[in-house]
Structure 1
Amino acid sequence: MFTGIVQTQAQVAKLQDRDNFRQLTLSVAPEYLQQVALGASIAINGCCLTVVSFTETTVSFDIIDETLRLTNLGALCVGDKVNFERSLKVGDEMGGHYVSGHIHGVGRIVERQQSPDNLALWIEFAPEFAPYVLPKGFISVNGASLTVGQVVGNTFSLHLIPETLRLTNLADADQVNLEFDQQTMTIVNTVERVLAQRGH
């Protein structure tokens, strides 16, 4: 479980690709790997990955076919920056919203609107997820817990403050991993199921 509060950006140091498989090695400042262990969960661009090896300044993960299909991790190149968040521990401050690290799909940034104090992004997503995207609702974008601005069809806007831009890779992204709020999905699906049972 994660909060959607990105801690830092890590850099892709090495990639090893095989059929429907990729091993991803990241370089990251040592303070973000303190007390890490094999099998630990870390969110990379919002996707929950399992640590398979590590050093003082690097950490590696195995990525299999389903994760490569649903996320933007298969498009990473050496030198790219990724958003990095260690898993939530008991007693940690809950600054964002509960994020599982289970990506629903990839969104495409279709417009950027820059102003002196913030950046607005418009993101296109698969139409089947439209019932779960609501103005002022939560969404995880490349692992960052954010509030939806406007919704038009199957696009929505985000307004990013300078601190979010500093900590994350959203300013330069073209495609982003999307995790829709699980509570919203549960409520919408339950209401739709009840209404269908009642013949509405």
Structure 2
Amino acid sequence: MFTGIVRERGRVVSLGGGEDGLHIEIEAPETAARTGIGDSVDVDGCCLTATAVQNGRFSVTAVPESLARTTLGGLSEGDEVNLEPSLRAGDPLGGHYVQGHVDGVGRIAALEPDGESRSVWVEAGPELLRYCVEKGSITVDGVSLTISALRDDAFATALVPHTLEVTTLGALKPGDGVNLEVDVLAKYVERLVQRAP
């Protein structure tokens, strides 16, 4: 599991396709140092398995299902990605419970300065917005954020200066796609209510 607290921005150094999906090599010394082959790493919100680790780099493969549900298929060499290694016993539990199972792709609708912070409106489909509530949590490209406002076709969230500095969200512009994971607790509650006698 993850918490949505990005530990490092990595750089995509190579991409390669195969029958099993997209092979991605990422330069990220801190993440590589605490990652072994077979470990899970959250890459822009998507839980992927490390297949190789060496010289400050690690490799992962995004399978066709992941490519269909995320923005990973649009990566280019040189792009930066948000990274979070899986939690270990004793790690701080900031953010919220994140699985790294992307529910869908949202689109940046608007960016508005708010002092040193930035307010962002993200368009999403009704199948995702049904799980969103004001002051609730949502994961955007692997970053745990708090929903500040809702409308029928979008939600708003605030990006504080620290988030703008240490994650890739500071480079977002209108029209960009972002990986979204809604709070899994909301989905569990819905399922329980649906199955209640």
TM-score (structure 1 length as normaliser) = 0.92
Q: Is the 8 A contact 1:131 1:188 kept in 2?
A: no
Residue of structure 2 equivalent to 1:152: 151
Q: 1:193 deviation in Å?
A: 4.0
Matched, 1:190 2:192: yes
Residue of structure 2 equivalent to 1:118: 117
More divergent stretch after superposition (39-48 vs 122-131): 122-131
Residue of structure 2 equivalent to 1:105: 104
Instruction: Look up the SS of the partner of 1:132 in the other structure.
Output: coil
C-alpha offsets along residues 133-191 of structure 1, whole Å, 9 cap, x if unaligned? Answer: 11100111111111001000120001110001111111223111111101111113322
Matched, 1:181 2:180: no
For 2:20 and 2:38, the matched residues in 1 are separated by: 21
Residue of structure 2 equivalent to 1:27: 27
Q: Is the 8 A contact 1:44 1:83 kept in 2?
A: yes
Q: Which amino acid aligns with 2:179?
A: N
TM-score (structure 2 length as normaliser) = 0.94
Residue of structure 2 equivalent to 1:37: 36
C-alpha offsets along residues 76-128 of structure 1, whole Å, 9 cap, x if unaligned? Answer: 11111100001001111111111001110111001110233111110011211
For 1:116 and 1:138, the matched residues in 2 are separated by: 22
For 1:192 and 1:117, the matched residues in 2 are separated by: 43
Q: Which amino acid aligns with 2:10?
A: A
Residue of structure 1 equivalent to 2:90: 91
Structure (1 or 2) with the larger CA radius of gyration: 1
Q: Is the 8 A contact 1:45 1:143 kept in 2?
A: yes
Q: Is the 8 A contact 1:72 1:176 kept in 2?
A: yes
More divergent stretch after superposition (76-85 vs 11-20): 11-20
Instruction: Look up the SS of the partner of 1:48 in the other structure.
Output: strand
Instruction: Give the CA RMSD over aligned residues.
Output: 1.4
Q: Which amino acid aligns with 2:150?
A: V
More divergent stretch after superposition (185-194 vs 147-156): 185-194
Q: Is the 8 A contact 2:8 2:30 kept in 1?
A: no
**Which consecutive unaligned segments of at least 5 residues does structure 1 have?**
none
Q: 1:37 deviation in Å?
A: 1.1
**Which consecutive unaligned segments of at least 5 residues does structure 2 have?**
none
Divergent runs of 4+, >3 A: none
